[in-house]
Structure 1
Amino acid sequence: MEKVLFGYLSLAMLVSALLAVFSRNAVKAVLWVLVMFLHQAVLFLTLQAEFLAAVQVIVYAGAVLVLFLFVVYMINLREELRLPRFLGSYPLAFLAVFGLLVLAAAGLSGYHTAQALGILTPEALLKYGHARLLGEHLFREHLLAFEVAGVLLLVAVLGAVVLVRRIREGAV
C-alpha cells in the first residue's frame, strides 16, 4: 500500500509540475504548482515528517503562491506573447538532454547514503520529534545565522513599505 501511495504522489507531483511549466495561463500555472505542493505535503506526512508538511502548506502553498498570484495580477498581462517555435533546434536539444543525462548518471554512480551525525539520529527523531530537534538545532548551533536572517527579513519588509510609500506620495 505504501508503494502505491508513493507512486501516486510522485506521479501526481511530476504531472502537475509539468503542467505548471507548460501552461500558457499564469494563474493556471500557479494553481498547478499549488497541486504539486499539496501532494508534496502529503508525501512528507507519509514519511512521518509532520512539521515539514505543515511548513510546506503554510509557507509554500500559502505565502509563496499568494505572492506569485499578486505578482501575476500586478504585472497585468493584457495579451499573450507568442514566439516562433524553434523547429530547427531539435537535434541540438536532444544532444543537450543526452549530455545532461550522462552527467546525472555519472553524478549518481558514486552516491551513498550519509551516516547520521550529531543529534539528528533516527532514534532521536522518533523519541523527540522533528520540530523539537529542529528548534534546538537552530537556536543552539545556528542562533546567530537565525537572528541575522530575521533582521534581514525585517529590513526587507520595511524597505518595501518605504518604497511603496514614496511611490504613492510621488503619484499624488
Structure 2
Amino acid sequence: MTLNADGDDRIADLLAHFGGQSANPVLSFLDAEGLPFSIRCGARWTGESFLLKTLPSGPGAPPGRVPASLLWHHHDESLEDQRSVMLHGTLEQKEGRHEPGAVFRPTAPPVVVGLEPVDVEALFRTFNRRSDAYLERHSLQPPQVDWEALERIIAKVRAEPRTR
C-alpha cells in the first residue's frame, strides 16, 4: 500500500520521536471471539509493513487477516506533553517455523497528535461542519446563546482578584 509519495519516510520519521525501531507500540485488534485485545509488542518497520515479534497464541490469537491498529505514545509523569502516532491497517499471522510472529500493514495515513503543527482554523471548520450535520441529522435547531449574559459573566470573572 502506498500512503503517499513520502509515506515510508514519514512513518520512519514519526517513529523516531518514540525511540525508532526500539519502541514497543500497543497492538489492538478483535480476537477470535470478537473481543477487543491489546498487547505491547516489538515492531520493526520494513518500509512497507511492520514485522511483529510478540503475539498471543491460543484463543487470543486473531484468525487470518484482521483489522488492527498500532499505537506509539508518550506523556510525562503529570500526563501532559502527550504525543502519539496511530496506524490503522491489517494484522496477519506469519506462517512458518523460522519466522514466528505476524505482519501489520498500514492501510491509511498516520494519525498524529502532538508532533505536528495544528491548523486551528481547519479544526474549527471541521467542528462546525460536524455540528451542522449533527443538528440536521437530528432535525434540531442551533441553540440560542444569550451573548450579553455571557459577556456579563466574563466581565465579572475578569474583575475578581486572582488568588493563584
TM-score by length of 1: 0.21
Q: Which structure features the higher share of strand residues? A: 2
* Higher RCO (C-alpha 8 Å, min separation 6): 2
Q: Which structure features the higher share of helix residues? A: 1
TM-score by length of 2: 0.22
